[in-house]
Chain A
């Protein structure tokens, strides 16, 4: 990396996850670890379709979007606006006051966007024909509308975009933030993503019928998501996501802001193997992690922790374990997948796991993989199991893989800002 390039620091975190919206409690729950998964209640659309689900809290539209938008906004957008509001508040940053609006970028990503809206409108068009369809269809369901709502609300006038690379979408958004900041194209980037995975029958049924979801766990939904465990048999849908405020470190210093961690590198590759199955040899993920470490100007030994994609599918976990083994050789970093607690938030997963990785760096505690009772011998890694593991990190990696064969790895390191901060979580010891 060019040493003259600005550094990118994470100064704000906003989350909406199955664990709620409180950031310190989110990280405390990951480290306990306390499950965010439940059996869907009988009146929930997912009842009977899934054994376990990570249901995010209901959000009050009145608290986040204008009056005229309350009945229109899709859940994925509402969660993104709520997370962006929280992240900007956490960073103590007001656009237009602390920073020129044209120097602020926003990238709120998602896999599918407003599927709940589209499903409802498709039903109405079937029942009532063309007159049944709302004129607000596009402002609700388009995947870029979360980005647009955040920009509109906070007066963000610089670069804006939405990346729709399924389960890597919000990790790609954060990688873009690194590029924008280090290239000098933005001073602040509000980045991340969300997915409203549990709002509509169609989306849930698509995963169920592809046999992608964990089954046989109705008696204990908290045990259903078990990355790298021998009894894993699929992933658990969780809803929500997160937004980070990534900021030029020198400007954060100038306004007296504190950094959680620096974003120092990213890698991205494509499997080009199958539309939805990962390459079992892990080569795409391995090249992705190597690229990220190289971009950050680090050596392999600098990486002390990998927050794995680890969804709990048989092939996916095996491919990722193979990749980590290949990249790091005999000196393996600690590895965990926080999806054991949260389930899989699809387009929101990358941002939530980036937040977990940032907080691991900031707090010096590695969250464990929940339900990893009997590690699969085919996933032989230095697993963090049981409770949180104290560790002073030089660098940590958050890695995501997606339907489509997209891989993204992000590198986080202790912050270069003068003032630093941690999660504020109280960690059990």
Chain B
């Protein structure tokens, strides 16, 4: 679904933007790279900050218990989780 794909792309771009704002070098970041120590090397506090950025951007909520697991997700998997959390694949779910 084209529209759903757009939402996914928007989220993934927002994640990259958040990582840039957090001073991470994302030039080597691939879509299938995990966010945590095995890949981009986000530490627990950085995962928390990324979660807050995304919560602010898209109006979604993450529980504290979810954060440790996020470090094991790839960029694509994390972006998909955000889209799923938005409860819609429609652009209507996007906050501006």
Contacts and interface: CB of A to CB of B under 8 A. Distances in A.
Looking at chain A's contact residues, the main secondary structure is: loop
A183 interface: no
B48 A210 contact: yes
Looking at chain B's contact residues, the main secondary structure is: helix
A276 B64 contact: no
B8 to A, nearest CB: 25
Contacts of A3: none
Nearest to A315: B64
Interface in B51-92: 51-53, 64, 67
A209 B52 contact: yes
A210 B64 contact: no
Interface residues of A, number: 8
B9 interface: no
Contacts, number: 18
Contacts of A210: 45, 48-49
Interface residues of B, number: 9
Nearest to A212: B48
A209 to B, nearest CB: 5
Interface string A257-288: 00000000000000000001100000000000
Nearest to B45: A210
B10 interface: no
Contacts of B67: 211
Contacts of B53: 209
Given A276-B45, A277-B44, A208 B52 contact: yes
A208 B52 CA distance: 8
A314 interface: yes
B53 to A, nearest CB: 8
Nearest to B52: A209
Contacts of A277: 44
Contacts of A276: 45
A117 interface: no
Contacts of B45: 210, 276
Contacts of B51: 211
Nearest to B49: A209
A233 interface: yes
Contacts of B52: 208-209, 211
A276 B48 CA distance: 13
A233 B61 CA distance: 14
Interface in B4-52: 44-45, 48-49, 51-52
18 contacts: A208-B52, A209-B48, A209-B49, A209-B52, A209-B53, A210-B45, A210-B48, A210-B49, A211-B48, A211-B49, A211-B51, A211-B52, A211-B64, A211-B67, A233-B64, A276-B45, A277-B44, A314-B64
Given A209-B48, A210-B45, A211-B49, 15 more contacts: A208-B52, A209-B49, A209-B52, A209-B53, A210-B48, A210-B49, A211-B48, A211-B51, A211-B52, A211-B64, A211-B67, A233-B64, A276-B45, A277-B44, A314-B64
